[in-house]
Amino acid sequence: MSDNDCRVTLMAVATPLFAEKGFHGVSVRELAKAAGMNLSMISYYFGGKEALYAAVLSQQFATLGQVTDIKALAMDPLGKFERYIRSTVERYRKNPYLLRFYTSELTNPTPSFQLIVKPAIREVLVVLQEIFNEGLAAGQFRQGLDPMDTILALAGMINFYFLLEPVTQEMVNHAPQRDEVLVNHLMDIFTRGVAV
Amino acid sequence: MSDNDCRVTLMAVATPLFAEKGFHGVSVRELAKAAGMNLSMISYYFGGKEALYAAVLSQQFATLGQVTDIKALAMDPLGKFERYIRSTVERYRKNPYLLRFYTSELTNPTPSFQLIVKPAIREVLVVLQEIFNEGLAAGQFRQGLDPMDTILALAGMINFYFLLEPVTQEMVNHAPQRDEVLVNHLMDIFTRGVAV
DNA sequence: GTCTATATTGCGATAGAC
DNA sequence: GTCTATCGCAATATAGAC
């Protein structure tokens, strides 16, 4: 196995384990066994368990950067918000572990929180705020709405839906086929909630 | 120290530690030291670290039961939803650790998740759904809204706001004095979003 | 580059003295 | 009821053979 294969394999194997059990919930023995490698390989390739975790986290949160692209699209602000919701759903579908790292770091932060997680989430919030202000300036949104409260409400609707999946799986159809309906429902509520 | 004092002290000390570091992030030695007791007291009074954690979790999630009372209030459904948001804010103010256990168990569940956390959250969702159906039957809410999507959106708005506090603390005024404004903003958006 | 073997530290739990 | 001492095991990390 080449250098890079080992690194890739270790990260691929570590991602679901860290996501489902948390940093302290996984041991290097478990990681190495799952990767079919000797436990010393983790120190050899990454410098230790914490460095491997940081590498996984960086990879996961890099996908949040796509949100920045939405700002430049040739759409009206509501269209951009819809794009945000849709891309968030797609992101969680393509990467089922991101939300776990997201909330795990928010509630039980590791040293990587300040360095990786906080800046990544902040960037998303800044972009959403800019989109909101754009719509406000264009007279599309009601006066009196607090920009931050409003975009946090929007982000909360979609993120909380996925966060509660372990509780709602027997109450809600979580099949991806229903994603489009969900997006429409949320945009429906949000649009009537904020438009003039 | 009496029997009961020891139990109470241990739980009081364990609550912030488990909340901030997670179950695996805290050791019995750390717990005992923080409580000013010998580490063997944890096994003596609770039967082990996991049983202490379960006791803390039960105590925390018992506070969610108040939501059930909202259903019986003499208010219209929108008033009950406002009451839900307001009581959620108050609950997090009175108990700053609940949300940590909440999301920590959702993302990195322990054996207590099925027994304590899932039923408690479900009960809240069921009550919110009943309130929604009540409003739908009374013709106060638009047709075509999915009950579960709608109440998850409502719950998401307020819960996500507090969940993101570690990220937004330099961008948002999180002082309790602003809670009333926040509640009004969210109810404003939600009401226009779902009312006929 | 990959292994074995081990150093070192910490873990949760408990036996037994008082 | 509270303590000390310790058991047995797992943790991360690394030295050194190949």
Element (H, E) at A110: none
Per-residue pLDDT, A2: 66
Mean predicted lDDT score pLDDT of chain B: 96
**Cα of B2 to nearest chain A Cα, Å:** 33
Distances (CA, A) of A150 to A10, A139, A153, A189: 40, 16, 5, 12
**From the CA of B101, how many Å to the C1' of C10?**
25
**Cα of B105 to nearest chain A Cα, Å:** 9
A25·B24 Cβ contact <8 A: yes
**From the CA of A30, how many Å to the C1' of D16?**
24
The ranges of chain B with pLDDT < 50 are none
User: Cα(A12)–Cα(B115) distance, rounded to whole angstroms?
Assistant: 31
- Which homologous superfamily is A60-192 in? Tetracycline Repressor, domain 2 (1.10.357.10)
Per-residue pLDDT, B160: 98
**From the CA of B52, how many Å to the C1' of D9?**
22
Helices (H), chain B: 3-21, 28-35, 40-46, 49-62, 67-71, 77-94, 98-107, 112, 118-137, 147-163, 165-168, 179-194
User: Cα(B166)–Cα(A114) distance, rounded to whole angstroms?
Assistant: 10
What tens digit of pLDDT does each residue of B26-36 get?
A: 999 999 999 99
Query: Is the Cβ–Cβ distance between A160 and A104 less than 8 Å?
Result: no
Show pLDDT as tens, one digit a residue, over chain A (196 residues). 567 889 999 999 999 999 999 999 999 999 999 999 999 999 999 999 999 999 999 999 999 999 999 999 999 999 999 999 999 999 999 999 999 999 999 999 999 999 999 999 999 999 999 999 999 999 999 999 999 999 999 999 999 999 999 999 999 999 999 999 999 999 999 999 999 8
CATH 1.10.357.10 maps onto chain B at 60-192
Residue A168 in contact with partner chain B when CB distance is under 8 A: yes
Give me the DSSP letters along B9-39.
HHHHHHHHHHHHH-TTT--HHHHHHHHTS-T
**From the CA of B52, how many Å to the C1' of D5?**
24
- Which one of 3.40.50.10860, 1.10.10.60, 3.40.50.2300, 3.40.50.720 gives the CATH number of domain B3-56? 1.10.10.60
Identify nearest nucleotide to residue B52 by CA to C1′ distance: C12
Q: Is the dihedral of CA A102, A106, A108, A109 positive or negative?
A: positive
**From the CA of B161, how many Å to the C1' of C6?**
50
Q: Which residues of A touch B22 (CB under 8 A)?
A: 22, 24-25, 107-108
Q: Which of A:92-131 have CB within 8 Å of B? A: 99-100, 103-104, 106-109, 113, 117-118, 121-122, 125
A156·B152 Cβ contact <8 A: no
CATH 1.10.10.60 maps onto chain B at 3-56
Identify nearest nucleotide to residue A24 by CA to C1′ distance: D11
Q: Which of A146, A112, A144 is nearest to A129 (CA)?
A: A146
Q: Which of B63, B49, B53 is nearest to B95 (CA)?
A: B63
B115: closest chain A residue by CA: A167
Whether pTM > 0.95 for this model: the answer is: yes
Q: Which of B157, B168, B172, B194 best probes binding to A when mutated, by most A CB atoms within 10 angstroms? A: B157
Per-residue pLDDT, A4: 81
Identify nearest nucleotide to residue B41 by CA to C1′ distance: D2
- Compare CB distances from A22 to B24, B157, B182 and report the shortest one's residue: B24
Helices (H), chain A: 3-21, 28-35, 40-46, 49-62, 67-71, 77-94, 98-107, 112, 118-137, 147-163, 165-168, 179-194
User: Cα(A151)–Cα(B172) distance, rounded to whole angstroms?
Assistant: 12
User: Cα(A116)–Cα(A55) distance, rounded to whole angstroms?
Assistant: 10
Residue A20 in contact with partner chain B when CB distance is under 8 A: yes
Q: Which residue(s) pair with B141 in the sheet? A: B195
